[in-house]
Amino acid sequence: MEKASFLFSGIHFDRKKFAKDFTRFQEKKEDKLIEDSNFLETEISEPGEGKTSFKKRKRKTLASETIEGFTVFKSSKSAAAAAPPVVLNEENDQTENRLSKEKKELYRQQERDALSRKKYNIHVSRNNVATPLQSFAELSSRYGCEPYLLHNMAKLGFKEPTPIQRQAIPVLLSDQECFACAPTGSGKTMAFVCPMLMKLKDASTDGIRAVILCPTRELAVQTTRESKKLAKGKKFRIKVMSRQLLRNTDLSKLPCDILISTPLRLRLAIRKKKLDLRRVQYLVLDESDKLFEQGLLKQIDSVVKACSNPSIIRSMFSATLPDFVEELARTIMHDAVRVIVGRKNTASESVKQKLVFAGTEEGKLIALRQSFAE
């Protein structure tokens, strides 16, 4: 099961593309081999779902996926349906002429937001989520972003925000917790580092104010590097929890604004080296699907507990959002906005998919071997 979730993590089989083959396959239902074989279902199932049948998957999707973006305003009628209940009642009770200017503007804004989300394939889990960014310039006009950050982005060649950045950045800047899911390589790092730098404003000697947890040391080093590039021109102290740092006897006065670490090292630092995380204002769990899969729950739990600031903003970012991760996320963040770009369990649009009729278990192995050889 574990292995399967690693292998298939994030891959969703494109049933539309292979619809013709699927029909042919179903026509031969009486064929015992096909009836008995579950290989097809196993191949297309998402992580953690095991051998769910097509029918079951379809029902589940209908029942559970009430993401705003999926039913985004297709007509003005559905636009009204998507508005929050309070606004709806008001609309029923009053004629449009009596609606105040602000309310009309709110409707328009919600409609613009929904269209923008539709355009970028962004899905959010509820109403009244911060307006997606149209450009990086809005970071300055809407949120007072300092020029150094925009300058650094421009230097890095970032011309416009990626879909996850369009939505996750405003959510975090509005002090809402979020768990975000977007394909690999879609700019998630910048989606959480940018609002973090904006909120921290300047370097301070108040102790650690932000923590980023990564599943591996390599990723922690890479995230540190990316963060430093974005913070250039400011005196932020951005540190990775290295073995050398861990050797220090007392970390209670570590001069650091943003600390990036794996859960294991951070837990060690908290327990043995008196690392103080009580002032942490931002906690990010990067690649949270992998963090939770690796059985690091105990370590994550102790880090979450050590970050005891009541006004902390937590967020999770990953390429896939299996149900078990979402359930765990909900135990940490009760009121978080869910932001999904594309489909929630699609790791990358660029993953090539192929449907092979194998028939028997043995045939499956042969087909697999052939695939690898190719």
Binding site for ligand ATP (CB under 6 A): 156, 158, 161-162, 165, 184-190, 319
Min dist CB 181 to ligand ATP, Å, is 10
* Closest to ligand ATP by CB, 197 or 251: 197
* Closest to ligand ATP by CB, 177 or 286: 286
* Closest to ligand ATP by CB, 37 or 315: 315
* Closest to ligand ATP by CB, 193 or 337: 193
Min dist CB 266 to ligand ATP, Å, is 19
Q: What single string gives the DSSP state of each residue in 6-70? A: HHHTT----TTTTHHHHHHHHHTTT-HHHHH--HHHHHHPPTT--S--HHHHHHHHHHH---GGG
Tell me the C-alpha to C-alpha distance, in Å, between residue 201 and each of 152, 263, 326.
Answer: 15, 26, 31
Min dist CB 287 to ligand ATP, Å, is 6
Min dist CB 136 to ligand ATP, Å, is 8
* Closest to ligand ATP by CB, 156 or 366: 156
* Closest to ligand ATP by CB, 73 or 192: 192
Min dist CB 200 to ligand ATP, Å, is 19
* Closest to ligand ATP by CB, 153 or 300: 153
Q: SS3 string of 141-160?
A: HHHCCCHHHHHHHHHCCCCC
* Closest to ligand ATP by CB, 156 or 351: 156
* Closest to ligand ATP by CB, 156 or 368: 156
Contacts with 329 (C-beta within 8 Å, 6 or more apart), sequence order: 179, 288, 316, 336
Please report, in angstroms and rounded to a whole number, the separation of the first and last CA atoms in the chain: 26
Q: Under a CB-based contact definition with an 8 Å cutoff, are residues 239 and 224 in contact?
A: yes
Min dist CB 362 to ligand ATP, Å, is 36
Min dist CB 161 to ligand ATP, Å, is 5
Cα–Cα nearest to 143, from 175, 102, 190: 175
Question: CA–CA separation, 260 vs 258, rounded Å?
Answer: 7
Min dist CB 186 to ligand ATP, Å, is 4
Rounded to whole angstroms, the maximal C-alpha distance in the chain is 72
Q: What totals of helices (H) and strands (E) does the chain contain, helices first?
A: 19, 8
Q: Under a CB-based contact definition with an 8 Å cutoff, are residues 274 and 250 in contact?
A: yes
Helix (H, G, I), strand (E, B) or coil at 349: coil
Question: CA–CA separation, 56 vs 346, rounded Å?
Answer: 19
Min dist CB 353 to ligand ATP, Å, is 19
Min dist CB 229 to ligand ATP, Å, is 8
Contacts with 319 (C-beta within 8 Å, 6 or more apart), sequence order: 9, 10, 181, 182, 183, 184, 188, 287, 289, 347, 348
Strand extents, DSSP E, 311-367: 313-318, 337-341
* Closest to ligand ATP by CB, 37 or 320: 320
Q: Under a CB-based contact definition with an 8 Å cutoff, are residues 190 and 282 in contact?
A: no
Cα–Cα nearest to 343, from 33, 57, 41: 57
